[in-house]
Amino acid sequence: MPVLTDQVPAHTTRSGPLFSSDKTTVIFVLGGPGAGKGTQCANLVRDYGFKHLSAGDLLREEQDREGSQFGQMIKDYIKDGKIVPKEVTIQLLENRMVEAEKEGKHMILIDGFPRQLDQAISFEEKVCVSAFTLFFDCPEDEMQRRLLDRGKTSGRSDDNIESIKKRFRTFVETSMPVVNAFEKQGKVVKVEAIKTPEEVYQDVKVKLAERGLKVNA
Ligand code: C5P
Ligand code: MG
């Protein structure tokens, strides 16, 4: 099955969201690089039964897909810490949401997205309005320490000091405005992410309970 068609993505011509937010719960997971988004998402999948879609993982998969017309572009953007044009990322996410729906999964964690305001606007217009954004707040020096440590084994082209600096800049200049925009709508759940993964997760559970989400019994 193709991950991405070579045609114009379907969502660009659609008049409204494909999924109703009454039936599908989308939670965006944001935070700087190395804030612990992936780690905490794994906990949430285990305990709440979410479907986890990592935008970065989907882009890396598409980058490596044989015959992808976007492979080289994605590679260049990732190495440079820049945001891949939204049409590609949104289509990859939408494809996986369609699959998730077929599996009867209606609770979706979208990790590392939207990283730019235009992604947030298009996604909510054409795919699904988000319930809220879970935002992991972590100081840069701690994130840098984690990423350099991860870089020893991750094999990622962007876990080196040069790319890390660029990713931090992109986060502050391009992604924080998304968090601020959702904050104005009262749609941000902020968690301090400097502590240990276990301590951070305890906070996450408390904050999600305040939003009416309970661990699967
Ligand atoms: O989230 P993660 O750290 O895996 O993302 C790695 C890279 O993937 C980002 O630095 C960026 O280049 C790209 N990306 C993107 N748009 C997104 C998510 C990730 O361009 N929404
Ligand atoms: Mg990640």
CATH at 166 = 3.40.50.300
Residue 8 lies in a domain: no
Upper half-sphere CA count for residue 123 (Cβ side, 13 Å): 29
**Cα of 77 to ligand 1 centre, how many Å?**
8
Residue 216 lies in a domain: no
| pLDDT, tens only, 33-66 | 999 999 999 999 999 999 999 999 999 999 999 9
Q: What residues are designated binding site for a ribonucleoside 5'-phosphate?
A: 60, 82-84, 112-115, 119, 156, 167
Residue 32 lies in a domain: yes
| pLDDT, tens only, 11-39 | 777 889 999 999 999 999 999 999 999 99
| pLDDT, tens only, 138-167 | 999 999 999 999 999 999 999 999 999 999
Residue 123 lies in a domain: yes
Query: Do β-strands 107-111 and 51-54 pair in parallel, antiparallel, or remain unpaired?
Result: parallel
- DSSP states of 94-147: HHHHHHHHHTT--EEEEET---SHHHHHHHHHHT---SEEEEEE--HHHHHHHH
Ligand 1 atom with the shortest distance to the CA of 115: 21
Q: Which domain does 120 fall in, by range?
A: 23-210
Residue 194 has a pLDDT of 98
- Is the pLDDT assigned to residue 1 strictly greater than 50? no
C-alpha distances in angstroms, 13 versus 10, 17, 89, 122, 157? 6, 11, 16, 11, 34
| Band (136; pLDDT cuts 50, 70, 90) | very high
Residue 76 lies in a domain: yes
Distance CA 59, CA 68 (A): 11
Ligand 1 atom with the shortest distance to the CA of 84: 20
State residue 214 phi and psi, 5-degree precision: -115, 150
* Ligand 1 pocket, residue 77 CB under 6 Å: yes
**Among 52, 57, 59, 74, which is best to mutate for testing ligand 1, by the most ligand atoms less than 8 A from CB?**
59
Residue 78 has a pLDDT of 97
Ligand 1 atom with the shortest distance to the CA of 170: 10
Ligand 1 atom with the shortest distance to the CA of 56: 4
| pLDDT, tens only, 87-124 | 999 999 999 999 999 999 999 999 999 999 999 999 99
Q: How many domains does the chain have?
A: 1
| Band (204; pLDDT cuts 50, 70, 90) | very high
- Is the pLDDT assigned to residue 8 strictly greater than 90? no
Q: Ligand 2 being an ion, which residues bring their Cβ within 5 A of it?
A: 38
* Ligand 1 pocket, residue 151 CB under 6 Å: no
Report helix angle 55-64 to 86-102, nearest 10.
Answer: 100
Residue 113 lies in a domain: yes
* Ligand 1 pocket, residue 112 CB under 6 Å: yes
Tokens of 198: 């276990």
Residue 198 lies in a domain: yes
pTM, whole model, 2 decimals?
A: 0.94
Question: Residue range 184-209: average pLDDT?
Answer: 98
Distance CA 51, CA 201 (A): 18
- DSSP states of the chain: --SS-SS--GGGG-SS-SS-TTT-EEEEEEESTTSSHHHHHHHHHHHH--EEEEHHHHHHHHHHSTT-TTHHHHHHHHHTTPPPPHHHHHHHHHHHHHHHHHTT--EEEEET---SHHHHHHHHHHT---SEEEEEE--HHHHHHHHHHHHHHH--TT-SHHHHHHHHHHIIIIIHHHHHHHHHTT-EEEEE-SS-HHHHHHHHHHHHHHTT-----
Please name which ligand lies nearest the alpha carbon of 60: 1
Residue 9 lies in a domain: no
| Band (71; pLDDT cuts 50, 70, 90) | very high
